[in-house]
Chain A
Amino acid sequence: MNVNFRQFLLLAFALLSLPLHALSLKVQVVDPADKPLENMVVYLEPLEGQQQGKTTKTVDIGQVNKTFTPYISVIQSGDAVRFYNQDDITHHIYSVTGSHKFSIKIRSGQEMLKQDFAQTGEVVMGCNIHDWMSGYLLVLDTPYFDKTNSGGLLTLDVAEPGQYRLTAWHPQMQEKDNRLVQTFTLLEDKSIILKLNQAMAEIPQQQSDDDFYFLSEY
């Protein structure tokens, strides 16, 4: 809620700063059965060097009830990420692949701000203590990104017309590189429906098979 509200504020600020002729791109992501898909990351990359802004914001990746919350986070390179342990137990957040390999231990209630996500790419995160915890951070080089709402919808306000590459990404998307890509020229307001070729894989529940009753006995 907090994050959404911030995004909303940021969006409102952006809208105010944009010229009136700013173009609106409506995107809906549906599965092969035309069912709208929520929380799909959709981002737009200019292919002709069109003007794009640089956001500076801090994205929260919380550890709540031994889950990464949210499961997927998206930032523009250079943005700060705040890892915030809201549980009553220590987490050991790590990433061993890609260009962002790190390992942070965060004690209960503490937070850690990390601002070195310069390289774009997927950061696959796990917790060395709680194997089932699974989180993704997508580092992008574009300000045009969002996650679909419950109707599978999102709207991107694009400042400048031109040729763009629209990408929908999700770790469980059963497409090549987990993404669906579409290139087009944006001249006016546009609605695009991205339809997956394959049904989504199951999204991990980030739940342990075991219940740690023994922990509550302390």
Chain B
Amino acid sequence: MKSLQNKIFLFFVLLLLVVQAIALSTLIAGKNNQELLQINNRLTTAKTIFSELFDSRSEYLAAFAETAAKDYGIKQVFHDDTRSLLVAMNNHRKRINADIAMAIAADNTITGQLLLTREQDEQRKVRQGPEKGELFRFSDWLDSQQQSHLYLLGDAVYQLSLSPLTVGAKTIGWLAFGFEIDQRLALEFMGITGLATDFILKEGENWRMVASSNPEADLAFARNIVQGFTPDTYIGVGHLITDHDQQVFGVAMYGLRADFVEVLQKQWLQLLMLAVITLLLSLAGAYLIAGSITKPITRLVEQAKKVASGDYHQTIKLDDQNELGQLADEFNVMQSAVLSREQAITHRANHDPLTDLPNRNMLKLTLNHLTKHQKKFALLHLNISRLKDVNDALGHDVGDRVITETANRLWQLPDFQLICHLGGDEFMLVVELTPDIVLDFLVNKVQLALEPNFDYQGISLQLQVRMGIALSPEHSSETKTLLQMADTALHYTRKARQQLQVYHADLDVNSVERLSLINDLKKAITSGQLELFYQPKINLKSNEVTHVEALVRWQHPNLGMVPPDNFIYIAEQTGQINALTQWVFSTALAQYKNWCALGITLNIAVNISAENLKDDDFYSFVCQALAAYQVPAENVTLEVTESAVVEDPESAIALLSKFKGQGMRISIDDYGTGYSSLAQLKQLPVHELKIDKSFVQKLKDDEDDQIIVRSTIELAHNMGLSVVAEGIEDDYAKCWLAKHKCELGQGYFISRPKSALELTTWLQEQKIIAGEKEAL
């Protein structure tokens, strides 16, 4: 996980590692340097000590020989008998414990030689040397200024110093004293330096081991050291002393490197341990620091997640006064801001902006809640009556005031679970039905609350509502259905012009079917479920059938006969009206041809929808169909409703004019139900008016209708139009219309719409009756 804590920690780790690496590498370099330095130091020191020791021995010997040579006692006995000389020499020798003492006469003869020998029992004894009476081998030493020499005698090597014995300026002989270079010296030296010491000597071409502090000393090894070739496991230094005699004297000082660096290694290990401990402590510290930095951030992240998930109720509190603390405070501020904003948004989403009452969302929630808990409740769907009139007459502001006033009054009702405003003039009240609640009483309460008139700017307005009620679970326990049912009930009130309707199943048969009809209609046109029925129109003057109106019927496979009012609307809304009208047209023309073949000639009227008038291809289709079936245009009537023309008068008039030009008859259907003005009517290229059946059906009893129909007929005749009356259901109406010179009549009294076959038979019967009448 690439968390900040890990990053910081990683950064610290890297930093620490780098620092430690640098420190360690410095230490290692330092350690190596130090080791080297110390080794060099030690070796140099050893070498210096050896030189100093060796030289001081020489100087000591030289000084002593000089002193002894100045001694008058020695001078006095120098040429006396040997015994006296030897005793005198030994006295001097003893003072410095010299290993050799010699007297050399002016003629280079050794007149006395004393050696300190080591006997078998490790006792030391002074004996006369073997060279007494012999010539001193190194006569050139006698005149030399060099006082110190290496003197070889037998296997032994001596550091020897000579001093002349003088009488005034005259040299009468020499005295020599020397120390042996032996194991004692090597051991003494090792005691000082801690290094094993070998003394080797080159005589002629051969080296030999003179003495060593090391019982297992090796000549070749010592020679290598002296020549500077020290094996890696050792430290060592050599020193060569070349006398101006032929001898070369070498000193090898050495020790095991491991022994020497052991202490250093120990210190180094301690240092390393310390570094590791420091590193671990630092890492732990870094981890804690990283944790302490990121802990508040982690808490902020958690808080952010909580806020994101919608939990606004926990605030975060950091003890830090730093930026993170401030961030936490800002976080809380932001959180409360988000909370209030979200509350506002939620409120907005769930409430109507105008009335601030809960809206459809809240309604759904409440209903879901109630249905989920299987509560009994009632749904009251309210609709403010005539709000459209208020809006139109007084403006939308007043309309809104009416809505808000209604909302206010509803809101004050105490018994409802929910009073919501669905928008516009619609409200929905929800009440849970407990045994002590009487629905009628509640409804009454609502009506009472809205009963007082509402005064607005001096206008007294009536807040009248219509109400559709649905009950759960009595009607349905499904929210959606329930809402639909309340809606249906409300709709019914409008139709039935009543204030209140409780839902019952009969109310919404149509609407239930509609959905399936939409789908089925398409199939119906192609699969022959549709059928044309024909309702005859009679010439009221001659009582002859001269016209028929083609009416489409849908024989639905499941629902049986579907009335046209139910599906024509659907066809119009779903864009299928063109296909439907074309089918009707073609079928009607085909039937015309059939009747022609039987010697029956009828004018066929076809209903044209407003949608057909908008279709550009409709005109050419009609023309082609007429041509195809060879039907004379004057035998076809197009019935157009008033409202269809009113929607778009200009294009409707233009199209209708073209049909008229073709010779077809144009009839205004349902005349009197629309609101078309006479001015419009005047412009329409029509031949006849078809008075709506609502005026004709009650003609017998309603004088108003009589006035309307009579004046309409007169008006039409005055404008040169013929008149058709539909809805003739009794003889009175038929006679009344004939009397008032209405040209054509249509209605159940004359004939119901009949199938083509029925109608043919019926027409033939009518002819026979007519023929019989004539015959009578």
B70, B76, B79, B170 interface centre (most CB from chain A within 10 Å):
B170
Distance to closest chain A CB from B75 (angstroms):
5
Cross-chain contact of B172 among A97, A133, A204 (Cβ < 8 A): A97
Distance to closest chain A CB from B81 (angstroms):
13
Across the interface, do B76 and A96 meet the contact criterion of CB distance under 8 Å? yes
Nearest to A205 among chain B residues (CB) is: B169
Nearest to B78 among chain A residues (CB) is: A96
Across the interface, do A96 and B168 meet the contact criterion of CB distance under 8 Å? no
A103 to B75 CA separation, bound complex (whole angstroms): 12
Specify which chain B residues have a CB less than 8 angstroms from the CB of A68 in the assembled complex: 168
The reply to whether the CB of B453 lies closer than 8 angstroms to some CB of chain A is: no
Within 8 A of B (CB), among A78-107: 94-97, 101, 103
A101 to B167 CA separation, bound complex (whole angstroms): 12
Within 8 A of B (CB), among A164-200: 171
Nearest to B173 among chain A residues (CB) is: A97
A211 to B188 CA separation, bound complex (whole angstroms): 41
Q: Please, what's the 1-or-0 string for A198-218, where 1 marks a CB less than 8 Å from any CB in chain B?
A: 000000101000000000000
Q: Which of A24-32, A122-130, A143-151 participates in binding chain B? A: A122-130
Cross-chain contact of B72 among A125, A128, A136 (Cβ < 8 A): A128
Distance to closest chain B CB from A198 (angstroms):
15
Which residues from chain A sit less than 8 Å from chain B, CB to CB? 68, 94-97, 101, 103, 124-128, 131-136, 171, 204, 206
A215 to B374 CA separation, bound complex (whole angstroms): 145
Across the interface, do A133 and B72 meet the contact criterion of CB distance under 8 Å? no
The reply to whether the CB of B166 lies closer than 8 angstroms to some CB of chain A is: yes
Q: Please, what's the 1-or-0 string for B43-78, where 1 marks a CB less than 8 Å from any CB in chain A?
A: 000000000000000000000000000101001101
- Write 5 A-B pairs (CB below 8 A) sorted by A numbering: A96-B79, A124-B170, A124-B172, A132-B168, A171-B169
Nearest to B170 among chain A residues (CB) is: A124
Specify which chain A residues have a CB less than 8 angstroms from the CB of B78 in the assembled complex: 96
Distance to closest chain A CB from B85 (angstroms):
12
A128 to B78 CA separation, bound complex (whole angstroms): 15
Cross-chain contact of B166 among A95, A126, A135, A206 (Cβ < 8 A): A126
Across the interface, do B172 and A96 meet the contact criterion of CB distance under 8 Å? yes
A68, A124, A133, A204 interface centre (most CB from chain B within 10 Å):
A124
A134 to B167 CA separation, bound complex (whole angstroms): 7
Nearest to B71 among chain A residues (CB) is: A128
Specify which chain B residues have a CB less than 8 angstroms from the CB of A94 in the assembled complex: 72, 75-76, 167
Specify which chain B residues have a CB less than 8 angstroms from the CB of A128 in the assembled complex: 72
Across the interface, do A125 and B167 meet the contact criterion of CB distance under 8 Å? yes
- Knowing A94-B72, A131-B70 are in contact, say whether A171-B170 is a contact too (CB < 8 A): yes
Number of A-B contacts (CB under 8 A): 48
A124 to B167 CA separation, bound complex (whole angstroms): 7
Specify which chain A residues have a CB less than 8 angstroms from the CB of B168 in the assembled complex: 68, 124-127, 131-135, 204, 206
Nearest to A128 among chain B residues (CB) is: B72
A204 to B169 CA separation, bound complex (whole angstroms): 6
A126 to B79 CA separation, bound complex (whole angstroms): 15
Number of interface residues of B (CB under 8 A): 12
Nearest to B79 among chain A residues (CB) is: A97
Specify which chain B residues have a CB less than 8 angstroms from the CB of A124 in the assembled complex: 167-168, 170, 172
Specify which chain B residues have a CB less than 8 angstroms from the CB of A131 in the assembled complex: 70, 166, 168
Specify which chain A residues have a CB less than 8 angstroms from the CB of B170 in the assembled complex: 97, 124, 126, 134, 136, 171
A68 to B75 CA separation, bound complex (whole angstroms): 20
A68 to B172 CA separation, bound complex (whole angstroms): 19
A132 to B169 CA separation, bound complex (whole angstroms): 7
A108 to B172 CA separation, bound complex (whole angstroms): 28
Specify which chain B residues have a CB less than 8 angstroms from the CB of A133 in the assembled complex: 168
Specify which chain B residues have a CB less than 8 angstroms from the CB of A135 in the assembled complex: 168
Specify which chain B residues have a CB less than 8 angstroms from the CB of A127 in the assembled complex: 168
Distance to closest chain B CB from A194 (angstroms):
23
Within 8 A of A (CB), among B124-178: 166-170, 172
Q: 10 shortest A-B CB distances, which residue pairs?
A: A134-B168, A204-B169, A134-B169, A126-B168, A126-B167, A124-B170, A124-B167, A128-B72, A96-B75, A97-B172
A94 to B76 CA separation, bound complex (whole angstroms): 9
A94 to B172 CA separation, bound complex (whole angstroms): 13
Specify which chain B residues have a CB less than 8 angstroms from the CB of A136 in the assembled complex: 170
Q: A96-B76, A131-B168 are in contact. List 8 more A-B contacts (CB 8 A).
A: A96-B167, A97-B79, A124-B168, A124-B172, A126-B167, A126-B168, A131-B70, A132-B168
- Knowing A128-B72, A131-B70 are in contact, say whether A95-B169 is a contact too (CB < 8 A): no
Specify which chain B residues have a CB less than 8 angstroms from the CB of A103 in the assembled complex: 76
A126 to B70 CA separation, bound complex (whole angstroms): 11
Specify which chain B residues have a CB less than 8 angstroms from the CB of A97 in the assembled complex: 79, 167, 170, 172
Within 8 A of A (CB), among B67-123: 70, 72, 75-76, 78-79
Nearest to B74 among chain A residues (CB) is: A96
Distance to closest chain A CB from B166 (angstroms):
7
Nearest to A202 among chain B residues (CB) is: B169
A206 to B76 CA separation, bound complex (whole angstroms): 21
A124 to B78 CA separation, bound complex (whole angstroms): 14
Specify which chain B residues have a CB less than 8 angstroms from the CB of A95 in the assembled complex: 167
A103, A127, A134 interface centre (most CB from chain B within 10 Å):
A134
Distance to closest chain B CB from A193 (angstroms):
28
Specify which chain B residues have a CB less than 8 angstroms from the CB of A204 in the assembled complex: 168-169
B72, B75, B78, B167 interface centre (most CB from chain A within 10 Å):
B167
Distance to closest chain A CB from B626 (angstroms):
169
Distance to closest chain B CB from A105 (angstroms):
12
Nearest to A123 among chain B residues (CB) is: B167
Nearest to A131 among chain B residues (CB) is: B70
A103 to B72 CA separation, bound complex (whole angstroms): 11
Distance to closest chain A CB from B264 (angstroms):
52
A131 to B170 CA separation, bound complex (whole angstroms): 11
A101 to B72 CA separation, bound complex (whole angstroms): 13
Specify which chain B residues have a CB less than 8 angstroms from the CB of A132 in the assembled complex: 168-169
Specify which chain B residues have a CB less than 8 angstroms from the CB of A206 in the assembled complex: 168-169
Nearest to B106 among chain A residues (CB) is: A97
A171 to B171 CA separation, bound complex (whole angstroms): 11
Specify which chain B residues have a CB less than 8 angstroms from the CB of A96 in the assembled complex: 75-76, 78-79, 167, 172
A126 to B168 CA separation, bound complex (whole angstroms): 4
A68 to B168 CA separation, bound complex (whole angstroms): 10
A126 to B169 CA separation, bound complex (whole angstroms): 8
Specify which chain B residues have a CB less than 8 angstroms from the CB of A134 in the assembled complex: 167-170
A131 to B169 CA separation, bound complex (whole angstroms): 9
Within 8 A of A (CB), among B12-53: none
A95 to B75 CA separation, bound complex (whole angstroms): 9
A26 to B166 CA separation, bound complex (whole angstroms): 36
Specify which chain B residues have a CB less than 8 angstroms from the CB of A125 in the assembled complex: 167-168
Nearest to B171 among chain A residues (CB) is: A124
Q: Please, what's the 1-or-0 string for B163-197, where 1 marks a CB less than 8 Å from any CB in chain A?
A: 00011111010000000000000000000000000
A133 to B75 CA separation, bound complex (whole angstroms): 15
A124 to B106 CA separation, bound complex (whole angstroms): 13
Distance to closest chain B CB from A119 (angstroms):
15
A151 to B695 CA separation, bound complex (whole angstroms): 197
